[in-house]
């Protein structure tokens, strides 16, 4: 809970399939890959490819600085993020919430107040004003980034008390926001005359009933609904749905059908069957919690065989958003190996703000993002896994593909692997090895990997 415009590139590769903007198994550039003298990919030469340029930035963390300056902080970074290879940013819930200037937005009150009305103790939100948010979204679009809104529609907060005939007592369900839009009463929440409850309440907040016509009209059906206002007036391009365990997947499906755009649901569950079922029912992507938990067991539990586990990206890469950390959960400590994993494998990887901007080496992260956008295409074949070592091959889609070698031991390791290439010189695009071996006619080659590290091999 604490919970595209495309890149304007120098290449003229144009894709025909709309979903390919958010997956990694797509066409790649055949241009020579440029490395800096240190072995790190040189982004200044703008060699990134449009085809795989699909990495999301979670552009916040829990309890970002209050004071109304967060939109300006992010605004100052979007050009650099676009140049690094990101294609989209996910913003926190942007509208006025019960805790006003101190709220992270997950206690929504007025869906149409982005820092414009004096209510809940402030005019601005924790993040800033309506004008500043629009400026940020405009800057992101100008830089070629899409902007995803965090949508909290399971529950509301901040309503006044009213007598509720369905409960027999007073409930905090009288919402009269100053925007004058989406007024609600006890009839819009559970229990009511048609439904006592849906899939789940959260934190004792009033629980919206999505079967109510008034709720549907104001959330996605009306011309000035939340969904259409966010898209047409504010300029959001996609949606991250909060706590989707709390309501049926048809809600997200109808929202998506009404306004379109990329969407991903926060279904906090490690069951791949459940994740895949929900994604199909909602016609939406879903965060790959199965992958998250497997990586935690693999990298922190020192058992890389856990990467053989079933994951959402293995079931349906088109609908899997992979991640290492988010604003709610930060269990994986061996983040370097985890990012090497998600940025070389299938799915739509999401990078956490503090990992990128504060906690990890930004050069390493930019290198992995570049590798993802230029090399990580095609299906995946797991070649080897034991407690310490893991090797996988991306088989390429109209391109070379790659071999990723991850090592969780304290020593350098070497291994013979079967590649995509015969009689071809390859090199490690991570810069962690200076080997440039030639593959045999049968495509086999010996590669190496540093201790507690990774290497990523492709054609020179």
Length, in residues, of the chain? 460
Confidence of residue 25 (pLDDT cuts 50, 70, 90): very low
Q: Is residue 30 over pLDDT 60?
A: no
Q: Is residue 5 part of a domain?
A: no
Query: What SS3 state is found at 66?
Result: coil
Residues 71, 211: one domain?
A: yes
Q: 390 is in which domain, residue-wise? A: 385-459
Q: Is residue 12 part of a domain?
A: no
Q: Is residue 51 over pLDDT 70?
A: no
Mean pLDDT in residue range 47-52: 33
Domain boundary among 357, 377, 397: 377
Mean pLDDT in residue range 70-98: 98
Residues 222, 143: one domain?
A: yes
Q: How far apart are CA 133 and CA 144, in angstroms?
A: 17
Q: Of 54-58, 193-197, 348-352, give the lowest mean pLDDT range.
A: 193-197
Q: How far apart are CA 333 and CA 297, in angstroms?
A: 11
- CA nearest neighbour of 380 among 342, 349, 414, 337: 342
User: Residue 264: phi, psi to the nearest 5?
Assistant: -145, 140
Q: Of 29-38, 160-169, 329-338, give the lowest mean pLDDT range.
A: 29-38
Please tell me which residue, 390 or 43, carries the higher pLDDT value. 390
Domain of 306: which CATH number? 3.20.20.80
Number of domains composing the chain = 2
Q: Is residue 18 over pLDDT 80?
A: no
Q: Of 93-102, 153-162, 395-404, give the lowest mean pLDDT range.
A: 395-404
Q: What percent of the chain has pLDDT over 90?
A: 86
Q: Is residue 47 over pLDDT 60?
A: no
- CA nearest neighbour of 83 among 375, 366, 372: 366
Domain boundary among 377, 403, 427: 377
Domain of 434: which CATH number? 2.60.40.1180
Q: Is residue 2 part of a domain?
A: no
Residues 304, 416: one domain?
A: no
Q: How many helices (H) and strands (E) does the chain have?
A: 12, 19
Residues 74, 148: one domain?
A: yes
Which listed residue (266, 288, 355, 389) is catalytic? Answer: 266
- Give the predicted TM-score (pTM) of the model: 0.88
At residue 198, the pLDDT reads 82
Please tell me which residue, 168 or 197, carries the higher pLDDT value. 168
Confidence of residue 360 (pLDDT cuts 50, 70, 90): very high
Residues 266, 315: one domain?
A: yes
Asked if 266 is an active-site residue, the reply is yes
On whether 296 is known to bind a ligand per the annotation, the reply is no
Q: Is residue 356 part of a domain?
A: yes
Domain boundary among 324, 343, 377: 377
Residues 281, 353: one domain?
A: yes
Left (φ > 0), alpha (ψ -120 to 50) or beta: where does 115 sit? Answer: left
Q: How remote is the C-alpha of 62 from its chain's centroid?
A: 16
Q: What percent of the chain has pLDDT over 70?
A: 88
Q: Residue 362 pairs with which residues in a beta bridge? A: none
Residues 6+ apart with CB under 8 A from 213: none
At residue 197, the pLDDT reads 85
Q: How far apart are CA 13 and CA 221, in angstroms?
A: 36
At residue 16, the pLDDT reads 33
- CA nearest neighbour of 279 among 35, 22, 10, 455: 22
Residues 132, 205: one domain?
A: yes
Asked if 288 is an active-site residue, the reply is no
Mean pLDDT in residue range 137-161: 98
Confidence of residue 85 (pLDDT cuts 50, 70, 90): very high
Q: Is residue 4 part of a domain?
A: no
Residues 237, 272: one domain?
A: yes
Q: Is residue 43 over pLDDT 60?
A: no
Q: Is residue 180 over pLDDT 50?
A: yes
> What are the tens digits of pLDDT across the range 403-420?
999 999 999 999 999 999
Which listed residue (28, 188, 237, 242) is catalytic? Answer: 242
User: Residue 57: phi, psi to the nearest 5?
Assistant: -105, 120
Please tell me which residue, 247 or 52, carries the higher pLDDT value. 247
Query: What SS3 state is found at 230?
Result: helix
At residue 53, the pLDDT reads 57
Residues 182, 77: one domain?
A: yes
Residues 6+ apart with CB under 8 A from 398: 27, 28, 377
What angle, 0 to 180 degrees and rounded to 10, lies between the N-to-C axes of helices 362-374 and 335-342?
20
Q: Is residue 6 part of a domain?
A: no
Residues 366, 420: one domain?
A: no
Show contacts of 169-173: CB within 8 Å, 24+ apart.
171/206, 172/206, 173/206
Q: How many CA atoms lie within 13 A of 34 on its CB side?
A: 9
User: Mean pLDDT across the chain, nearest whole number?
Assistant: 90
Q: Is residue 138 part of a domain?
A: yes
Please tell me which residue, 123 or 47, carries the higher pLDDT value. 123
Residues 332, 402: one domain?
A: no
Residues 113, 209: one domain?
A: yes
Q: How far apart are CA 349 and CA 295, in angstroms?
A: 14
């Amino acid at each position: 809970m604490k919970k595209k415009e495309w890149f304007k590139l120098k290449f003229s590769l144009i894709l025909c399939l709309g979903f390919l903007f958010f997956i990694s198994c797509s066409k790649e550039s055949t241009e020579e890959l440029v490395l800096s003298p240190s072995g790190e990919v040189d982004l200044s030469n703008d060699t990134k490819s449009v085809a795989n340029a699909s990495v999301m930035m979670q552009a916040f963390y829990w309890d970002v600085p209050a004071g109304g300056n967060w939109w300006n902080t992010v605004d100052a970074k979007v050009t650099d993020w676009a140049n690094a290879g990101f294609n989209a940013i996910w913003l926190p819930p942007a509208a006025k919430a019960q805790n006003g200037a101190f709220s992270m937005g997950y206690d929504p009150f007025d869906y149409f107040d982005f820092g414009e009305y004096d209510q809940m103790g402030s005019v601005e939100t924790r993040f800033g004003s309506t004008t500043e948010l629009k400026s940020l979204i405009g800057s992101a679009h100008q830089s070629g980034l899409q902007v995803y809104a965090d949508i909290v529609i399971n529950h509301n907060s901040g309503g006044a008390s009213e007598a509720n005939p369905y409960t027999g007592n007073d409930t905090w369900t009288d919402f009269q926001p100053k925007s004058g839009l989406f007024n609600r009463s006890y009839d819009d929440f559970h229990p009511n005359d048609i439904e006592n409850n849906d899939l789940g309440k959260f934190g004792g907040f009033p629980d919206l009933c999505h079967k109510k016509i008034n709720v549907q009209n104001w959330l996605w059906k009306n011309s000035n609904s939340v969904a259409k206002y966010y898209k047409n007036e504010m300029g959001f391009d996609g949606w991250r749905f909060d706590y989707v365990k709390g309501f049926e997947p048809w809600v997200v499906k109808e929202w998506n059908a009404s306004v379109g755009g990329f969407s991903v649901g926060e279904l906090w569950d490690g069951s791949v069957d459940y994740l895949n079922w929900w994604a199909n029912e909602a016609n939406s992507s879903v965060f790959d919690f199965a992958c998250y938990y497997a990586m935690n067991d693999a990298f922190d539990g020192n058992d890389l065989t856990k990467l053989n586990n079933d994951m959402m990206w293995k079931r349906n890469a088109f609908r899997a958003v992979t991640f290492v950390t988010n604003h709610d959960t930060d269990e994986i400590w061996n983040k370097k190996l985890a990012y090497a994993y998600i940025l070389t494998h299938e799915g739509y990887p999401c990078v956490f703000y503090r990992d990128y901007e504060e906690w990890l080496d930004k050069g390493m992260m930019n290198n992995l993002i570049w590798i993802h956008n230029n090399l990580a295409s095609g299906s995946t074949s797991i070649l080897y896994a034991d407690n310490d070592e893991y090797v996988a091959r991306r088989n390429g889609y109209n391109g070379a593909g790659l071999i990723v070698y991850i090592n969780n031991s304290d020593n350098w390791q070497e291994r013979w692997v079967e590649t995509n290439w015969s009689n071809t010189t390859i090199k490690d695009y991570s810069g962690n090895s200076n080997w440039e071996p030639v593959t045999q006619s049968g495509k086999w080659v010996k590669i190496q990997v540093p201790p507690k590290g990774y290497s990523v091999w492709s054609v020179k």
